Amino acid sequence: MKYITFAGSDRKVSTIVPGTMRIAGLSPKQFRELLAAAEECGINFLDFADIYGGGRSESLMGELLAAEPSLREKFVIQSKCAIHRQNGIGFYDFSKEYILEAVDGILQRLQTEYLDVLLLHRPDALMEPEEVAEAFDSLKRSGKVRMFGVSNMSPVQMQWLGSALSVPLVANQMQLSAAFTSMLDGNLNANTQTDAGIMRDGGTLEYCRMNDIVLQSWSSLQFGRFEGSFIGSEKYPELNAVLETLAEKYGITPAAVALAWILRIPGKFQAVIGTTSPAHLREAAAAADVALSREEWYRIYLAAGNQLP
C-alpha cells in the first residue's frame, strides 16, 4: 500500500479509500468483513458522509466501534456534512449552527468522540467564510474534529474560504476517473479554442498541489454523473481494451489499473471506491503498488475518447 500525509499531520494514510455510500444495506458482520479486508491490505482510511444511507452508514460503523473499540485507532475516519434536507427540499448549508449540529449527529452515530477529517459537502452559494471559521474553530478547540477540508470546490472558493480560517484545508474531494477527466482536460488543452480547453474547475489540480492539499477522487470507476461504471461497459470498448491489456501486464484487474491511473497523477491523491465486496477491495488495493509509465497513462487517457491538441 502507498501512503501519504495530510498537511500538518504525521499520520500516514492509505491512497486507496473505501467509500461508504452503499454500505447501509450491509449487516454488521458483512461490514466487519469489509474492514478486515481493508486491514489486510494496509488500508487505514474510511470516507463517510452524514447523508449516506440517511445516516445508516455512520451508524453501522458506530455499532462496530462500540463492540470493538480498538478499531477506532486503526482507521482514520472522515465524514462530510452540509447537504441539508428540510421541508421536502435539499440544499447546501455552511451556517455555523448547522455545521455544529451536523457534526454532533455524526459523532453520535459513529459512537466516537472525534472525527479525524471533516469535509464540507459541496459548495454553498450563501457561504460566509467567517461563519465557517467560527464553526471550525469551535470544533477544533473542543477536540471534535482534527482536520478540515472541502469537496467539489474551485481554487477561488478554497482561497476565499481559507482567507478566514485559522486551520488549513487539507483535502478536496472531486469527481475524477479515466472516463471523467474535466479536471485534466483544460490543463492539457490550454491555449486552444476547443471545448476541451475550457478550464471548468479553475485549476483545482494545480492549486491543490501548490498548497499541499490532498485530492480525493470520487466516482473513481464511474462515467458521467452516476451513470455507472465504465469497467466492462460497451460504451467504452477502447478504454476497456487498454485496461485489460495493462491488467494482464501487471497481474491486476482492469479496475485496479484504472485506479492506478488516478494515483499516477503528480501530487497527493487518494482514490475513493464504493465497493461493498471484500474481494473487490483487495483487488483495488493492488493499484497502489503499480506505477504506470507516462506512455501507459496517456494511452488510457486517449482510449477514453479524449484527444490531445
How many other CB atoms are found less than 10 A from the CB of residue 140?
16
Query: What are the C-alpha distances in Å from 24 to residues 20, 43, 181?
Result: 8, 20, 29
254 is in which domain, residue-wise?
A: 3-303
**Does residue 117 lie in a domain region?**
yes
**Does residue 208 lie in a domain region?**
yes
Rounding to the nearest 10 degrees, give the CA dihedral for residues 115, 117, 121, 122. Answer: 160
**Does residue 308 lie in a domain region?**
no
**Does residue 105 lie in a domain region?**
yes
**Does residue 281 lie in a domain region?**
yes
**Catalytic residue list contains 52:** yes
Q: Where are the beta strands (DSSP E) in the chain?
A: 3-5, 12-14, 16-18, 45-47, 76-81, 83-86, 89-92, 115-120, 145-151, 169-175, 214-218, 269-273
pLDDT digits (tens, 9 = 90+) for 218-246: 999 999 988 999 999 999 999 999 999 99
Catalytic residue among 3, 52, 92, 114, which? 52
What is residue 91's predicted lDDT score, i.e. its pLDDT? 95
**Does residue 49 lie in a domain region?**
yes
- Is the model's pLDDT at 298 over the cut of 90? yes
What is the Cα–Cα distance from 36 to 54, expressed in whole angstroms? 24
pLDDT digits (tens, 9 = 90+) for 260-291: 999 999 999 999 999 999 999 999 999 999 99
Reference 46, options 67, 66, 59, 61; nearest CA is 61
C-alpha cell at 183: 479536471
| Helices and strands: H and E segment counts in the chain | 11, 12
What is the Cα–Cα distance from 206 to 213, expressed in whole angstroms? 10
Confidence (pTM): 0.96
C-alpha cell at 258: 484504472
Looking at the DSSP bridge assignments, the partners of residue 47 are: 19, 78
Report DSSP state, residue 281. Answer: H
Residue 99 belongs to domain with CATH number: 3.20.20.100
Specify the number of domains making up the chain: 1
- Is the model's pLDDT at 196 over the cut of 90? no
